[in-house]
Structures are given as structure tokens and as C-alpha cells.
Structure 1
């Protein structure tokens, strides 16, 4: 086994990443580093399928429950904190095992990616211009000032146009220089992708959502609302919690909320699947034929050549 091994277990929601990550941590004397953006939030347990203390089986888990629901998750802050956690795990002579399905967070941690600076005043001014002049007008400006970035940003993609112009104004350089590249920061990195047959995955999603309701998702959401969930730009829009808030407000029936959550989760799964399949470095593990945890662990270790 490489002395500085960094193992990542990635893939779509409900594929079984968390369980496999724990199995691998037990086998490799490892510690788990969370790479699910919503599991960063305290109290968002049922709706994110966060592993319980008992389910962790003594394996240390990091970067769970580090944000209040009123705070905004930041991928650049996550990158900084997660890399420090990995250094600390290695300092203890143990193996860091990254587990999660938030693709940008995984890439930010594993790859040689730098995040450009931000300036709230510059961004607000550009957003006001977008509102009055339209995205196409600012895209033409971007084409003149940063043609390399404009080539990769559509003329109607207002958010990225604003970001590219903001970076250009702050740094004097091209936004293109900050776009992600498939280049590991650490050569000893291995990604194991977990996948299931789509029909099986849809069944697991439906079962999970119904189970969340039975386990008290509405009660959890009510408690989070008391802690400011309505003010959280990221947390309140999370699949499951957004629907639960609608139920609490009388705007949606529980049955409709369940169906909406299932549909939204399936949509998320498609996006996650597309993201991770684009990364040719991922070694895929088909778990449909090997449900036994020990068998999955052995299969994953074989894929990683461990």
C-alpha cells in the first residue's frame, strides 16, 4: 500500500458510499473525510442520510456538523479545511478516506485547483449590470477582455459571466486559468466510484425517502427552522428540506412532498452520475451483484490494487 495513499469513495446519492467508506476505513486503519456539502450542516441528519455514531463503528469521521444552517457552504473553505484534516490523519499514520457525492467538493480536495478571489462590491455591480443590460451584452464584454474564458461560457450563463468578469477585474488575469483540470494534487490518490443499476437505485431512493419521513424528517425540519433554516441560502433549498418546509407551511401535502423529494433526488443522481463519469480516473465498482459488505470491501480493495 502506498505510504501516502489518499482513497476517495465517490458516486451518486443512495449507492452505498458511506457504508463502503467505513468498511475500507476498518480494513486500512483509516479515517473518513466527508465530501457531501449538505452533511457539513449541524442538525441536517435524517434528510442527508448522515451516518449515526453507531453506524460509524468507531471510525473517526471529519467535517460533519461544522456549519450552522444559516451559514453558506464554501468550496474554497472546504478545500482548505479538508486538506488540513488529511494532513493530520496522515500525521497519525492512518489512511484518509474521502467519502461523498458533491462533485466540486471532491475535485477541490483531490485536484490541483486554486480558487480565485472574490469581491462582493464588484460582483454586486456586475449583477446589477446583468439585470439592466442582459447577459449577452456582458458576454460580449467578456469576449473582448477574456476571450479564452468567453469561449467556455455560454452567452446566457449570467452567473459564470459575472464570475469571470469579477475575476478579471480583481486579478487582471484570465478566469480560464482557474478552471478545473484533471490533475491530482497527490499522485497517490485513488478514486473508487460506486454505481448501481438505475432501476435498483430508484427503488433505493424511494425507500430512503419514505424512511426519512418515518424517522422524523418533518420534526427535524421544524427544529432546524427554529435555528434559522429559513435564512440559510444553501440549507433551506436542500432536497427534502425544501419540501418539508412546504409541508410545515401548508403549501404541500406530505404525499406530494414525498413524490417531489423522490423526483428531485433522481434528478440529482443523474447530475452526479454525469459529473463522475466524466472523470476518467474513477475506478468503477458495480455493487449490484455483491451486496455483502465483506465482498464489496474486497472488490474495492482489488480495484485500488491494495
Structure 2
């Protein structure tokens, strides 16, 4: 296990979309004496409720939830900003004698909390970004050659083939004088910021597809189209908020006139592909225990898997604490 920076223990309930993470977390949290920290890149936005499957107000009154509804949809919100806010929340929860329970499906955000990861500074100079975009349009090979000269390590990665990432890498170098590759450490070599016990919930492919389709249909019935209309009328959504799964497609439906039924099918398809990417990401994170859900776990108010996950958390948290004595 990598070296750690604090003795605050955290638990994590992770998994792909539509697996019922929030539902299971609200059963598990009271029994662990835990408060929930959202690990979702879009639940941070106020007003984006239906499409991000936020717990309702009654649940959030009963069990404190952190890192939800903290920024307006007109604002961009980076992983670096999330990291800072989430670590403050974890420390505040621990200071109050509770267990921080990280819950969500954004693997990078989970890693940003529990590992000692540094992120390149965000863009503060639109002029520089515009100049680099113009360079990329005029002479893409010249831009790539210059980046390869100043950051050969980045040039050896798959990201070197992605011009958007090339522009971002050159932007970081121009602003800081430091290659973007210096901010990245391979998994397994990152120090722990918070020791964690993590569970990933998933299900066989046919059950995940069924759950995703049902989730999308439920969101539409609950008013996702109306929610997106309201957000659009209230002001410009930030570039980050506009990329949220479901919101992006409904915005296109509203702007282009694409039939709603076709839009719904696109959301289902993209949600399925997203769930596969989420699973791929979680497989790369060390030390996570995987739990396969059955159909009853996905629909029951008392999912059988809860007892398994609870036993795992209690046992492993106990081992971590015992090991420090």
C-alpha cells in the first residue's frame, strides 16, 4: 500500500450509472455512522437534479450529503476545485466524529480525493488558448513538434494524437514553464491522501442495460426535458455543465428539433457506453472490492447485497484502525 498523508479513514461506494449507488448509500450510511460525499462531476451543479439522479430533499435532510449544489450551471468547475472542496468536506465530517462515505461514479474525482494527485492549473488566459487553437488550425504538426521538444514524455502517450489535449498541454507549459506530464504519476506510485475501503457495485450486462433504460425513461417521466428548458432559459450553461449526459442530448433536441423518442434512444445508448468506460476506470484503481448485483438488489427496498457490503466495510475499516495501533 502506498504511503499515506493522513489518518482519516474513508469508505467509498462506487459503480457505473443506474446501479442504485445513492439508494444503497442511504441504507448503509446510518449503519456506519457516515455522512455522504458525492463523487459525481455533475451533482455539484444547482438545478441539475433529475438528470444527475440526486437524492430528494427528505433523504438529504435525514442524511447529510456534501458536494451537491455548490456551483451555478453558468460556472465551469474543475476536478482541481472539486478536490479541494471534497477534502475539506472529508476533514469536517471526520472532525465531527462521522465516517466520510464517498458515493458516485466519477472515477477521477474519487482518485482526486484519496490519492496525492496534483492537477495542472486551469485556463486563466483566453488569449493564449485562442492563439494556440489558431496555431493548431494553421500548423498542427508544428505545434505538435514544439510540444514534443518541451515535453517528450507527453509526446510518447496516446494523448499526443488528440489535438485538444495537445493544445491543453502546450497551454500548461506556456503558463507555468512546467511540462504537463510532470503533474501525472502512474497508478500505484501515487501516495495515499486518505486511506480508503472501497466497494464497486456492478451487474451482468443485460441487467445493467435494463437498469439504464429504466433510469432514462424515469428521468424523462420525472421532467428532465422541462428541467433542461428551465436551465436554458435561466442563462447560458457552462461548457462543463452542457456536457452532462442527458442534458447535452436534450439541449440538442430543443435546438435542432430532433424527435424526442430518437433523443431518448441516444441517451440510452450513450449511457450504456459511459457505464462501460466507468467500469474500465474502476478496474485500474487498486484495492477496490467488487460486488455483483442481482435483479433483486436493483429493485428491492432491502437489497440483499447491503449486508455483504456493510460486513466488508466494517471488517476492513477495523483492520486499518487496528494496524495503526
**Which residue in the other structure is 1:191 paired with?**
198
**Which residue in the other structure is 1:96 paired with?**
100
Which of 191, 207, 212 is the matching residue for 2:214?
207
Contact 2:28 2:306 in 1 (8 A): yes
Q: Number of residues paired by the alignment?
A: 303
Helix, strand or coil for the counterpart of 1:232?
A: coil
Contact 2:50 2:227 in 1 (8 A): yes
Distance 1:289 1:254 in 2: 29
Distance 1:263 1:235 in 2: 20
1:178: Cα distance to partner? 0.7
Distance 2:170 2:256 in 1: 42
Q: Which runs of 5+ in 1 are unaligned?
A: none
Deviates more, 1:27-36 or 1:293-302: 293-302
| Cα RMSD after superposing both structures | 2.2
1:19: Cα distance to partner? 1.7
Helix, strand or coil for the counterpart of 2:100?
A: strand
Distance 1:294 1:213 in 2: 25
Distance 2:158 2:256 in 1: 40
1:225 aligns with 2:218: no
Helix, strand or coil for the counterpart of 2:43?
A: helix
1:263 aligns with 2:263: no
Q: Specify whether residues 206 and 294 from structure 1 end up closer, same or farther in structure 2 by C-alpha distance, changes over 3 A only.
A: closer
Following superposition of structure 1 onto structure 2, how do residues 1-306 of structure 1 map, counting pairs within 5 Å?
A: 4-56=8-60, 58-118=62-122, 119-120=124-125, 121-134=127-140, 136-182=141-187, 183-186=190-193, 188-228=195-235, 230-249=236-255, 251-288=257-294, 291=297, 293=302, 295-304=304-313, 305-306=315-316
Cα deviation 1:111-139 (Å, max 9, x = unaligned)? 110112244243332222111111x3322
Helix, strand or coil for the counterpart of 1:46?
A: coil
Cα deviation 1:76-108 (Å, max 9, x = unaligned)? 111111111111101101000111111221111
Q: Specify whether residues 47 and 299 from structure 1 end up closer, same or farther in structure 2 by C-alpha distance, changes over 3 A only.
A: same
Distance 1:151 1:161 in 2: 12
Contact 2:154 2:180 in 1 (8 A): yes
1:234: Cα distance to partner? 2.1
Distance 2:237 2:214 in 1: 30
TM-score normalised to the size of structure 1? Answer: 0.91
Distance 2:203 2:90 in 1: 29
Q: Specify whether residues 168 and 232 from structure 1 end up closer, same or farther in structure 2 by C-alpha distance, changes over 3 A only.
A: closer
Contact 2:115 2:194 in 1 (8 A): no
Distance 2:228 2:32 in 1: 36
Helix, strand or coil for the counterpart of 2:200?
A: strand
Q: Specify whether residues 203 and 218 from structure 1 end up closer, same or farther in structure 2 by C-alpha distance, changes over 3 A only.
A: same
Q: Specify whether residues 110 and 236 from structure 1 end up closer, same or farther in structure 2 by C-alpha distance, changes over 3 A only.
A: same
TM-score normalised to the size of structure 2? Answer: 0.86
Contact 1:36 1:105 in 2 (8 A): yes
Q: Specify whether residues 113 and 259 from structure 1 end up closer, same or farther in structure 2 by C-alpha distance, changes over 3 A only.
A: same
